Amino acid sequence: MEQTDSSRRLGILIGGSGLIGGTLMHYFKTRAADDIDLLVPNSKRLSLREPEDIRRYFRKNRPDFIINCAIASIDSEPKLAYEVNYQGAINLARAALAFGIPYIHFSSAAVLPSGEDLDEGAHLPLTADLGNYTKSKLMAELTLRHMHEQQGLDYTCIRLGVVYGEHDHKIQGFSRLLFSVADRAMPVLLTSRGVRHSYSNAAKLPFFVHHLLEHRAEFSGQTYHFVDPEPVELAELILTIRAYLELKTPREIFLPYRLARFGRGMLRKVLRLLGRFGIKALEPKELIFLENFYESQTLSAAKIAASGFADPASAATVYGAIPSLVKYYIPRWEQLNLITSFKADFAASDHRVDAFTSMPGLLLQEINQESVRPLNGLDGN
Residue 282, in any domain of the structure? no
| Strand 199-201 with 297-299, pairing | unpaired
If one counts every other C-beta atom within 10 angstroms of the C-beta of residue 284, the result is 14
The alpha carbons of the chain give a radius of gyration, in whole angstroms, of 21
CA distance 148 to 49: 23
Of 314, 321, 298, residue with least CA distance to 237: 321
Residue 259, in any domain of the structure? no
Structure confidence at residue 345 (pLDDT): 47
Residue 2, in any domain of the structure? no
Number of domains in the chain: 1
User: Above 80 in pLDDT, residue 266?
Assistant: no
User: Above 90 in pLDDT, residue 171?
Assistant: no
Residue 258, in any domain of the structure? no
The CA-atom distances, in angstroms, between 368 and each of 208, 316, 317, 323, 380 are: 21, 8, 10, 13, 20
Residue 279, in any domain of the structure? no
CA distance 119 to 305: 12
Average pLDDT, the chain: 85
The CA-atom distances, in angstroms, between 179 and each of 11, 226, 258, 298, 339 are: 34, 24, 24, 23, 8
Structure confidence at residue 3 (pLDDT): 44
* Amino acid residing at 212: L
- DSSP code per residue over 230-298: S-EEHHHHHHHHHHHHT---SEEEE--HHHHHHHHHHHHHHHHHHHHTT------HHHHTHHHHTS-EE
Structure confidence at residue 302 (pLDDT): 96
Structure confidence at residue 347 (pLDDT): 47
97: exposed, middle or buried (C-beta count within 10 Å: 0-12, 13-18, 19+)? Answer: middle
The model's confidence at residue 94, banded by pLDDT at 50, 70 and 90, is very high
Structure confidence at residue 172 (pLDDT): 80
In this predicted model, what pLDDT tens digit does every residue of 20-36 receive, in sequence order? 999 999 999 998 888 89
Residue 1, in any domain of the structure? no
CATH for 84: 3.40.50.720
In this predicted model, what pLDDT tens digit does every residue of 123-132 receive, in sequence order? 999 999 998 9
3-state class (DSSP) for residue 10: strand
Domain that holds residue 77: 9-249+290-370
3-state class (DSSP) for residue 125: coil
User: Above 50 in pLDDT, residue 204?
Assistant: yes
Residue 256, in any domain of the structure? no
In this predicted model, what pLDDT tens digit does every residue of 172-200 receive, in sequence order? 888 888 988 988 888 899 899 999 999 99
The reported pTM is: 0.85
CA distance 114 to 124: 9
Structure confidence at residue 280 (pLDDT): 63
Residue 89, in any domain of the structure? yes
